[in-house]
């Protein structure tokens, strides 16, 4: 449609005619943008005025005629040009044709024809612009959609492609001889017969076809394309044209394949997967999620996973979780939830926040593993590390850790507590007479009886064999410890019925009380141990406290224990060699190496005093190695004659 008040530039060197044209145009409602008399001036005015139409006289005064001026204008502008001429010279018209004029108006012109020609030129130009815009939109749409269109003249076997198809096939339009055979050369060898059959069916049965196949480009790239086409037939049923589209669906199919693989992985993984929307409502779960939680998929869609909270964690735990998701986009950790049947279970959960194209959180993806078995194994390993597997009592490691904690606690609070050593009397005889199986049953029953005499907060441990220790925690003095000791002696003196066997044992118990009998683990343990041996010397079946003599023995033992390590490091030991003589011949047959400890403060300490302690604290082997190494060195250096 011609816009109202279109502007027209008049290029005419005849001033009278130029004025006449201007008056006519204005009477017809056109706007005269300008009137110039030379080609040079026309070029300059076009840049300034940008008219909708140019009336150009072919023959102009000056160095540049209208045809040359029109050519230069069209190089820079899309403006329709009408030539004004009084000549019908073939030479002029041939030159003018190169500039693609919209029409020729012969002078003198008829006003009615003149007006119609101008209207037609403006209307035609508007239509051409609209058509070019549509073509550009089509090209853009095809490029975005990766879809091109084609026409195949079946009769002449001429194939016409749009630019997008050339791009899809990776060929230059100038170098590609478009034909059906040329197209088939791009089809993947394994799909050629499929394509041929589809085309033949369409041509023979007058029906459209839709097919998907692969193409093999010259550089070895494989693409997947989707084709659709319709066939046009003449009256006799002969195919004339085939019109169709080609769309590159490679990325789409690859995306579908990736999604299929992802779905397969999600569905087949043993880990539970849950996807929620931005409001934390479940949209997707896999089978593993249903199996672990006990819920059906229909019961889960649309609900908040928070409904399965176990109540194990406090409010701050979840606040920290969501804060981490907001700041870092992810969170992982151990969390306890509840199954449908009410069972509380532990899981290791990882959550990530997935953002959309607007960089806003669109979904949350959670992956978790049920770690119930791992937790159970950890508990079993912890139990094995800290408890006696036979009796279930604490072991030495656990007992010493608890005793250390109790020393620290009582020291802060100025509190009392007691340590008891319990040794079963006549237990070795039970093992020798009835065997270890019966002995084990006796030990288990003994633990049950001892536990009946103590509080839940107290600690019972088996050190090994038939030796047990007790930690009576919190505010236990001599009287309280004595009462517990007597109860244990009493319950262990009662007969044990193991199967059909009646077995009688007893117990010897030693007691040390913090802080009177020691303010350290070592002193308390040694005092209780010495008191237990004192109980055995007294005939057993009793509980003994540490007396002054035993205290001195403990102090002496601790002094030696602490000094032995330093003695080995500082080589305070000495070797005295005593010759071995053959009584018959009187000859020296060898040497006996006698170890002495030359203490820097006490002088020589007898092996009778330090060898038992070295064995007790497991230094006897390192000391023996030192003796052997030193003796060999002295022999090599000739210090032993």
Strand order in the sheet with 103-106: 31-36, 7-11, 53-57, 81-85, 103-106
Strand stretches in 119-185, DSSP E: 147-153, 158-161
Residue 572 DSSP class: -
For 245-302, give the secondary structure using H, E and C: EEEECHHHHHHHHHHHHHHHHHHHCCCEEEEEECCCCEEEECHHHHHHHCCCHHHHCC
The number of beta carbons lying within 10 Å of the beta carbon of residue 201 is 13
N-to-C CA span, the chain: 133
The SS3 of residue 370 is strand
The number of beta carbons lying within 10 Å of the beta carbon of residue 457 is 9
DSSP readout, 403-428? HHHHHHHHHHHT--EEEEEEEEETHH
Contacts of 72 (CB under 8 A, 6+ apart): 43
Pair 275, 364: CB distance under 8 Å: yes
d(CA 578, CA 596): 13
- Partners of residue 346 on adjacent β-strands: 336
d(CA 324, CA 318): 10
The number of beta carbons lying within 10 Å of the beta carbon of residue 348 is 15
Q: Could you say which of 52, 248, 423, 466 is catalytic?
A: 466
Burial of 618 per CB tally in 10 Å (0-12, 13-18, 19+):
exposed
Q: Is 466 a catalytic residue?
A: yes
User: Catalytic residue numbers?
Assistant: 466
């Amino acid at each position: 449609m011609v816009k109202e008040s279109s502007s027209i530039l008049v290029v005419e060197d005849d001033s009278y005619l130029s004025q006449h044209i201007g008056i006519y145009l204005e009477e017809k409602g056109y706007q005269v943008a300008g009137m110039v008399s030379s080609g040079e001036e026309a070029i300059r005015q076009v840049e300034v005025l940008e008219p909708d139409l140019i009336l150009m006289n072919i023959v102009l005064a000056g160095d540049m005629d209208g045809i040359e001026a029109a050519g230069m204008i069209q190089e820079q502008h899309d403006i329709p040009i009408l030539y004004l001429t009084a000549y019908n010279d073939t030479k002029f018209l041939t030159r003018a044709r190169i500039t693609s004029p919209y029409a020729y108006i012969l002078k003198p012109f008829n006003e009615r024809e003149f007006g119609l020609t101008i209207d037609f030129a403006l209307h035609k130009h508007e239509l051409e612009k609209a058509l070019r815009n549509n073509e550009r939109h089509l090209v853009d749409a095809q490029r975005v959609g990766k879809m091109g269109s084609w026409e195949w003249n079946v009769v002449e076997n001429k194939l016409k492609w749009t630019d997008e198809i050339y791009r899809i096939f990776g060929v230059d339009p100038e170098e590609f001889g478009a034909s059906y055979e040329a197209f088939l050369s791009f089809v993947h060898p394994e799909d050629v017969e499929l394509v041929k059959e589809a085309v033949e069916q369409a041509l023979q049965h007058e029906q459209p076809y839709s097919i998907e196949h692969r193409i093999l480009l010259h550089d070895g790239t494989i693409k997947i394309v989707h084709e659709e086409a319709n066939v046009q037939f003449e009256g006799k049923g002969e195919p004339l044209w085939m019109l169709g589209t080609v769309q590159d669906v490679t990325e789409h199919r690859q995306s579908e394949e990736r999604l299929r693989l992802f779905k397969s992985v999600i569905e087949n993984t043993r880990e539970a997967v849950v996807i929620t929307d931005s409001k934390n409502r479940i949209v997707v779960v896999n089978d593993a999620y249903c199996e672990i939680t006990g819920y059906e998929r229909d019961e889960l869609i649309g609900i908040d996973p928070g409904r399965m909270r176990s109540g194990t964690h406090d409010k701050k735990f979840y606040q920290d979780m969501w804060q981490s998701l907001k700041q870092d986009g992810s969170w992982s950790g151990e969390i306890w939830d509840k199954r449908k049947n009410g069972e509380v279970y532990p899981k290791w959960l990882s959550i990530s926040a997935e953002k959309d194209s607007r960089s806003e959180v669109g979904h949350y993806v959670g992956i978790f593993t049920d770690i119930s078995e791992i937790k159970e194994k950890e508990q079993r390993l912890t139990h094995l590390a800290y408890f006696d597997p036979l009796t279930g009592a604490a072991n030495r490691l656990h007992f010493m850790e608890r005793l250390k904690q109790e020393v620290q606690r009582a020291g802060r609070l100025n509190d009392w507590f007691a340590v008891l050593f319990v040794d079963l009397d006549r237990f070795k005889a039970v093992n020798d007479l009835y065997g270890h199986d019966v002995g084990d049953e006796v030990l288990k029953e003994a633990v049950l009886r001892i536990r009946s005499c103590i509080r839940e907060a107290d600690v019972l441990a088996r050190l090994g064999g038939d030796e047990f220790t007790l930690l009576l925690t919190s505010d236990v003095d001599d009287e309280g410890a004595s009462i517990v000791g007597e109860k244990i002696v009493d319950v262990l003196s009662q007969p044990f019925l193991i199967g059909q066997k009646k077995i009688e044992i007893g117990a010897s118990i030693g007691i040390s009380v913090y802080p009177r009998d020691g303010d350290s683990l070592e002193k308390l343990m040694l005092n209780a141990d010495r008191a237990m041996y004192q109980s055995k010397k007294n005939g057993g079946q009793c509980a003994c406290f540490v007396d002054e003599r035993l205290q001195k023995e403990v102090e002496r033992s601790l002094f030696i224990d602490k000094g032995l390590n330093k003695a080995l490091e500082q080589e305070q030991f000495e070797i005295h060699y005593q010759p071995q003589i053959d009584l018959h011949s009187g000859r020296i047959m060898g040497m006996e190496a006698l170890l002495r400890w030359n203490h820097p403060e006490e002088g020589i300490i007898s092996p009778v005093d330090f060898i038992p302690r070295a064995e007790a604290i497991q230094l006897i082997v390192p000391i023996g190695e030192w003796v052997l190494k030193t003796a060999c060195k002295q022999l090599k250096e000739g210090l032993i004659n």
